């Protein structure tokens, strides 16, 4: 039994080991040296705490393990079998093939991001999406930024700084991930005037709060919760009418940015961007990676005179979008222009997936997995801050794990490729709706591999 600092090998001795030298070839000497020193530092602390010194082999293996885990990117694909279509923790919308190609092409090379190729003069990066957005939403003007939180911050900073913005108390909400309307307001320098009560707000509440300092009426879509029962809120039409009478614009944070009528799929109505524009909202803000089904971005559409103020604000530069996502957004928007959103955009393919197709895949998986698996009824969720409580009937594969559902779920999640399902009543549940069809084979292979053990 060894103890004391002396029993730890020197840095030189470790670095001259053949296995460590091999690691060094795959990675660089400074990195291996850094990790070796870190490791020895921790080992010295453990020795002080009375632990035994590790063997030389253990030391070498630990160091090589750390180096090789550093050498792989920790962000990697996950198979989403949760049945939650827009899963924020899993990166929201997967992208269409066309979107990915457009992003790849622009990532590899230089692009005409801010140059007009006709005359060689400097141009705006926004031209690549602005006319598409105007065409699709009916708006006069559009601006794209980093995400919707940035869009709301930019809008309030540009139009409402040191002025008042009226919002219903029921809409001064937290969307998730720390996005709270009152906090964003404070950050923008706008003064939040809350009106009404948590469950009921009337048009007269807004009207009574209007003063010469009022810069806007703000509506925030309650994306991830629903007030049921004794509730009343003011529709966008009434708000716009009031805004017109007092010459204050209505700002509409609709969250999800839906362009397709969700009621066609048996879902509740999710505010459509084009409806909000048509009703007369001054600016409409929404995410590109929720129901729109594109890469992360925040989109603002509305009246030209308001958008012009946003363009000029210094924050616009701080929250600007990059060339790769701009290309991806344009490609995603093109699917809508071509009327092929449902057949090409993964989020909409999932929403519109025929029940029979889901059933067929669920049966296929279940058969391959053997007697532990069965097919049951269930619900897929839209998720990701859209259609609060919105679900679609689905067929699920239920795996009876004899009390070891968590263990199986952990193993599936940690392995490669990672698979995430959900646990219900001690069974592991997998929903084919959110698994991309090309992932079926690999999912079955991993599952049978684990279940056969």
Ligand X SMILES: *Cc1c(COP(=O)(O)O)cnc(C)c1O
Asked if 255 interacts with ligand X (CB under 6 A), we say: yes
Q: Are strands 422-424 and 427-430 parallel, antiparallel or unpaired?
A: antiparallel
Distance CA(98)–CA(270), nearest Å, equals: 26
From the list 109-117, 131-139, 207-215, 251-259, the region that binds ligand X by CB under 6 A is 251-259
Site for ligand X in 173-192 (CB under 6 A): 175, 179
Instruction: Name the region of 206 (left: φ>0; alpha: ψ -120 to 50; beta: rest).
Output: alpha
* Residue owning tokens 């694909």: 77
Which residue from 279, 438, 449 is spatially nearest to 370, judged by alpha carbons?
449
Contact of 401 with 372, CB cutoff 8 Å? yes
| 3-state secondary structure at position 242 | helix
Site for ligand X in 213-232 (CB under 6 A): 220-221, 223
From the list 35-43, 76-84, 253-261, 347-355, the region that binds ligand X by CB under 6 A is 253-261
Q: How far is the CB of 210 from ligand X (least distance, A)?
A: 23
Distance CA(394)–CA(377), nearest Å, equals: 6
* Residue owning tokens 């885990």: 69
> Binding mask 157-176 vs ligand X (x if CB under 6 A, - otherwise)?
------------------x-
Looking at the Cβ atoms of 248 and 300, the one nearer to ligand X is 300
| Vertex 301: Cα angle to 296 and 302 (nearest 5) | 165
Which residue from 312, 302, 319 is spatially nearest to 148, judged by alpha carbons?
319
Distance CA(144)–CA(292), nearest Å, equals: 14
- Give the residue, chosen from 147, 188, 380, 427, that forms a contact with ligand X under the rule CB under 6 A: 147
- Give the residue, chosen from 280, 385, 388, 390, that forms a contact with ligand X under the rule CB under 6 A: 385
Site for ligand X in 256-285 (CB under 6 A): 256
Looking at the Cβ atoms of 287 and 380, the one nearer to ligand X is 287
Sign for the pseudo-dihedral over CA of 195, 248, 146, 290: positive
Q: How far is the CB of 254 from ligand X (least distance, A)?
A: 7
From the list 41-49, 75-83, 249-257, 357-365, the region that binds ligand X by CB under 6 A is 249-257
Looking at the Cβ atoms of 321 and 412, the one nearer to ligand X is 321
Residue 26, classified by CB atoms within 10 Å of its CB into exposed (0-12), middle (13-18) or buried (19+), is exposed
Looking at the Cβ atoms of 53 and 149, the one nearer to ligand X is 149
Looking at the Cβ atoms of 94 and 298, the one nearer to ligand X is 298
Looking at the Cβ atoms of 36 and 256, the one nearer to ligand X is 256
- Give the residue, chosen from 253, 270, 275, 431, that forms a contact with ligand X under the rule CB under 6 A: 253
Q: Which residues bind ligand X (CB under 6 A)?
A: 147-149, 152, 175, 179, 220-221, 223, 253, 255-256, 287, 298, 385
């Amino acid at each position: 039994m060894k103890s004391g600092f002396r029993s730890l090998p020197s840095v030189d001795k470790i670095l001259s080991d053949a296995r460590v030298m091999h690691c060094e070839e795959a990675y660089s000497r400074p990195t291996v040296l850094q990790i070796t020193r870190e490791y020895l530092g921790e080992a010295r602390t453990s020795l002080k705490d009375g632990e035994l010194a590790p063997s030389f082999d253990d030391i070498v293996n630990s160091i090589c393990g750390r180096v090789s885990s550093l050498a792989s990117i920790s962000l990697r694909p996950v198979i989403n079998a949760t049945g939650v279509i827009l899963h924020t923790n899993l990166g929201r919308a997967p992208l269409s093939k066309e979107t990915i190609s457009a992003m790849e092409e622009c990532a590899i090379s230089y692009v005409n991001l801010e140059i007009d190729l006709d005359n060689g003069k400097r141009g705006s990066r926004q031209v690549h999406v602005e006319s598409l957005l105007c065409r699709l939403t009916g708006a006069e003007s559009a601006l794209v930024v980093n995400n919707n939180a940035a869009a709301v911050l930019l809008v309030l900073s540009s139009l409402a700084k040191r002025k008042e913005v009226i919002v219903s108390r029921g809409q001064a909400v937290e969307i998730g991930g720390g996005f709270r309307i009152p906090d964003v307001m404070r950050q923008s320098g706008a003064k939040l005037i809350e009106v009404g009560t948590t469950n009921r707000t009337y048009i007269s509440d807004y009207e009574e709060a209007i003063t010469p300092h009022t810069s806007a009426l703000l509506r925030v879509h309650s994306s991830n919760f629903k007030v049921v029962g004794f509730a009343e809120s003011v529709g966008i039409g009434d708000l716009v009418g009031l805004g017109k009478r007092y010459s204050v614009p209505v700002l509409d944070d609709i969250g999800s940015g839906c362009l397709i009528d969700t009621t066609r799929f048996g879902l509740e109505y999710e505010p459509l961007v084009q409806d909000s524009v048509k009703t007369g909202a001054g600016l409409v803000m929404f995410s590109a990676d929720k129901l729109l089904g594109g890469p992360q971005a925040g989109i603002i559409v509305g009246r030209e005179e308001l958008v012009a103020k946003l363009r000029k604000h210094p924050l616009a530069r701080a929250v600007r979008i990059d060339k790769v996502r701009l290309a991806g957004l344009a490609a995603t928007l093109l699917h809508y222009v071509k009327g092929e959103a449902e057949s090409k955009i993964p989020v909409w393919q999932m929403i519109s997936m025929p029940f029979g197709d889901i059933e067929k895949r669920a049966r296929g998986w279940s058969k391959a997995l053997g007697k532990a698996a069965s097919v049951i009824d269930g619900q897929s969720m839209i998720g990701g801050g859209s259609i609060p409580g919105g679900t679609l009937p689905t067929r699920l594969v239920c795996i009876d794990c004899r009390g070891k559902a968590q263990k199986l779920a952990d193993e599936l999640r940690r392995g490669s490729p990672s698979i995430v399902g959900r646990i219900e009543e001690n069974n592991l549940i997998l929903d084919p709706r959110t698994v991309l069809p090309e992932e079926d084979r690999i999912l079955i292979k991993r599952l049978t591999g684990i279940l056969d053990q």
